[in-house]
Structure 1
Amino acid sequence: MKDYGWGAIINSSRSFGAAVTSFIQGDESHSIQKELIYRHISWLTALRYQLRLEREWEHVENRLKEVYMPTICEHYYEDLEGEILNMIDHGEFKNYKD
């Protein structure tokens, strides 16, 4: 049975990183590798933030204190953009945001 959870995403990310560093060759290979890997890390960051948002069906009163902050939704809207902009170009981010 396949695991489609967070662990599978992480394992696939490791494989992706290994493939990028192994198969991309040439004069500018380092910058291309960095761009692809940072873009993937940005996607993982956006997914991490998205998964922490409250859902209608979720029992938010039972969240573990100090593990899931009660203001996590506010952090999604305030902090996500800054984290992603550390890894990808502002122009590229604008394309995704629009």
Structure 2
Amino acid sequence: MKNITPEEVRKKVEGNETINIVDVREPEEVEEGKIPGAKHIPLGSLDERKDELDKDTEYVMVCRSGGRSGKATAFLEENGYNVINMDGGMLAWEGSVDK
């Protein structure tokens, strides 16, 4: 499994680089704030919604602490997607958030 640090993600977001982020937390967690531009697909809905993602696009998976996004990353990798897990999740995120 590939991993990326929150700092690396923040630099890409703030530098307006193309980065595709998928937040797999529950809706009430996302209401507290998500990384700007992140797509919200709760982990429990990922299997039925994975077709919303393009297998040719790289995605950074995010959750609260890195556990659920790790599961999402492993699941999507098994299904042929190009995904990276953000270490530490939103607990480690120091950038801005959209509410």
TM range (shorter): under 0.3
Query: Normalization by structure 2: what TM-score?
Result: 0.22
Structure (1/2) with the larger helix percentage:
1
Q: Comparing both chains, which one has the higher relative contact order based on Cα–Cα distances under 8 Å and sequence gaps of 6 or more?
A: 2
Tell me which structure has the larger Cα radius of gyration: 1
